[in-house]
Amino acid sequence: MAHRQHLFQPRRRGPDSPAPAVPAHALEPFGGLCIRARAGYIAKSRAAAVAQLRSFLLRKRQLACQFIKAQRPPAGRAFADRYRQQTMKRLKQGSYVLLVAGSLSLISWSAELPSLKRSALDLTIGTPKTISKSSEGVSFIVSFYNNSTNNLLLNGGELLGNGAQIWSSLEAELKNETGQRIPMTLGWGVPGVAGRIYFLGLPLRAGSRYTLSVSANDYLVGTGERLKPGKYEICFVYRGRQSDYRDSSQMPACWQGQVQSNTLKFEVLAE
């Protein structure tokens, strides 16, 4: 108690006597406030951190002014005014630093927008039935959708002289229920290629859709064996590129890019 009275009661001093030193233990609450302010700054967003920092500095200023006024009322007021001005200057500097950091973050985020931009082409896969009695009944429907505002020309593959289509730009990835990949080749029912080859182009207007049916005769599993009874999952991948068979003087350039469809699960009950 004697120590507290000695700390907070005003002392009598002469006009030229120096100001009393502030005890170190009296400033311990400021350290606790600083730790809590730092923890809050890490946990919250930049805007919340600015508000919490402002509140912390104002609270620290109030406590310091109250303590100084209790020790030396006449000189304490002048020191409190100077401390208030320094605190406001620090607040402005801290707000400016956080504002600059936020602006740089926005610039870097906007620079990454092109990589996050949605593809102009969507590829989806469906099936008439997810459970088939035999492997011959497993068929798929591949859908190409142009979700951009521009018309697209897709390179589907090759067109033979007899009208047969080979969609070489489309690949299938088949896996069993354990996640093991099973080789699957899209042959499109063409035993061999002979004669002249033409460009298989697919024009897609903005907002239009094209569906392609894939039956059991259009693909080969492994070396030609049937799908064994079990559960499977499949997805299709389209790789858009330029074609050597396209007449560049008559047709626009093909859309270039890669897009993957959704994953479809199906089941085969028997061979």
Q: What is the pLDDT of residues 88-110, one digit of tens each?
A: 776 666 655 555 455 555 455 44
Q: What is the DSSP letter of 120?
A: S
Bridge partners for 238 per DSSP: 170, 259
- What local confidence, expressed as pLDDT, does residue 136 receive? 87
**Cα-Cα-Cα-Cα dihedral sign, residues 66, 68, 74, 75:** negative
- What local confidence, expressed as pLDDT, does residue 114 receive? 46
Architecture of domain 121-268: Sandwich (2.60)
- What local confidence, expressed as pLDDT, does residue 194 receive? 67
173 has a pLDDT exceeding 80: yes
215, 139 Cβ separation under 8 angstroms = yes
Q: Which one of 42-56, 59-73, 94-108, 181-195 scores highest in mean pLDDT?
A: 181-195
37, 52 Cβ separation under 8 angstroms = yes
Average pLDDT, the chain: 77
| Spatial CA neighbour of 171 closest among 180, 162, 181 | 181
